Amino acid sequence: MTSRERLLKLIAGDVPDCVPVAPDISNMVPCRLTGKPFWDMYLYRDPPYWEAYISAAKYFDIDSLMDGYFPFEYPFEKADGPEREEMIVGRTPERIVTQLSWIDGGKRRWEPKVNVYYVADPPTRGIPVEKLGMPPVPDRWQPVEGQQEVDRGPEGLKRVKDLMGDHGLVGIFVTSTLGLHSEQEILDYYDHPELHDRWAEERLRQAERRFAYLVSLEVRPDFICVGASGTLVFQSVDIFRQLTFPAVKRVIELAEAEGIPTHVHSCGPEKELVRIMAEETSLTIIDPLEIPPMGDCDLAELKRLYGDRIILKGNLHTTNVMLRGTPGDVAAAAGKAIDDAGAGGGFILSTGDQCGRDTPDENLRAMVETARTYGRY
């Protein structure tokens, strides 16, 4: 079976030829494999990091679930006002610092935050200028030159799906399990309880509009993403239920009616989120099911409790096993995960969140090989 066929068979509730294997290599491993500075992928889009990911998925022969890496843009959500331009305001051999700028009333204005692109790590965005000891208005700047043009709309989605081909499935974000993303948003939540219902309603309407647009396209995504990193790290279960769950649940209902699978990625504590999704929604897939201390999940327990309701995807330790272990350690951990959750289907062998940049290639290959051999049904 091809990877695409294997995943679709699993999603349909059938048992494929073997346990699908989709380690979360996200962006660090793919960018490393290009041999280029990381800022080539993130700043210059040469290639865009989502294309680097697809190349890496093919290189390791994984069953890819590309969960929202392609930053799809909805045409009705483009920002109003003057167009912002990214300017380089600092450069060293290790990093490039950029700041957004625009012309307003004949004067050049600057965002009070900067983005830092590193030579060998993913970027850090939205850093207040004072945290880097930089002036709010830079003394010198230059435009970012040489950025590759990319289409982030329907034609871009079609291109990504064509690039992925039979190697997996492509997902697009419609909404998120996370409602609070920053210190300021947490403060606003507690300072303005009168706005909570309005925020939840706005999120619900946005999600419905996004979903309606995606299903109107000639080329649709293969699945819909509704998760977010750290759902129960940055907010409580009650806040999740209040602010984001109504939109998440609605999108899952709409997607089920259209026959489109849905996916939640939420690193960190996730046991309660698995229960909610399995018992109160028809969510298709949830990951990464991290073990302590990063998370609170026991794969065998989740399989016993919810394995007949939801596809579990996880959960090899990304540092102790994938980064620091030997291929033999990886094969043993992969075999245990298959024993814990692979019976009867409903399981995708993966990692507990993203593999680190320096994860050995041979460890990723050991994981794939274990799924293809020990994981055969």
Q: Tell me if 286 sits within 8 A of 348, measured CB to CB.
A: no
Question: Which tokens hold the place of 49?
Answer: 């990091």
Domain boundaries defined on the chain: 3-76+149-373, 82-143
What is the percent of the chain with per-residue pLDDT over 90, rounded to a whole number? Answer: 97
Question: Considering the entire predicted model, what is its pTM?
Answer: 0.95
Distance between the two ends of the chain, CA-based, in angstroms?
Answer: 13
Place of tokens 């997902």: 171
Q: Give the chain's length.
A: 377
Instruction: Return mean pLDDT, the chain.
Output: 97
Query: Which whole number is the average pLDDT over 229-237?
Result: 93
pLDDT at 234 over 90: no
CA angle 201, 203, 206 (to 5 degrees): 110
DSSP annotation of 294 reads: T
Predicted pLDDT at 79: 81
What is the percent of the chain with per-residue pLDDT over 70, rounded to a whole number? Answer: 100
177-228 pLDDT, tens digit per residue, is: 999 988 889 999 999 999 999 999 999 999 999 999 999 999 999 999 999 9
What's the pLDDT band for 78 if we cut at 50, 70, 90? confident
What's the pLDDT band for 154 if we cut at 50, 70, 90? very high
Give the residue among 19, 9, 64 at the shortest CA–CA distance from 342. Answer: 19
3-76+149-373 CATH, one of 3.30.2290.10, 3.20.20.210, 3.30.43.10, 3.30.460.80 = 3.20.20.210
Give the residue among 18, 13, 40, 10 at the shortest CA–CA distance from 27. Answer: 40
Give the residue among 375, 325, 324 at the shortest CA–CA distance from 349. Answer: 375
319-373 pLDDT, tens digit per residue, is: 999 999 999 999 999 999 999 999 999 999 999 999 999 999 999 999 999 999 9
Give the residue among 369, 362, 357, 359 at the shortest CA–CA distance from 327. Answer: 362
213-225 pLDDT, tens digit per residue, is: 999 999 999 999 9
Rounded distance between C-alpha atoms, residue 29 and residue 311, angstroms = 25
pLDDT at 80 over 90: no
Rounded distance between C-alpha atoms, residue 69 and residue 120, angstroms = 19
254-277 pLDDT, tens digit per residue, is: 999 999 999 999 999 999 999 999
Predicted pLDDT at 240: 97
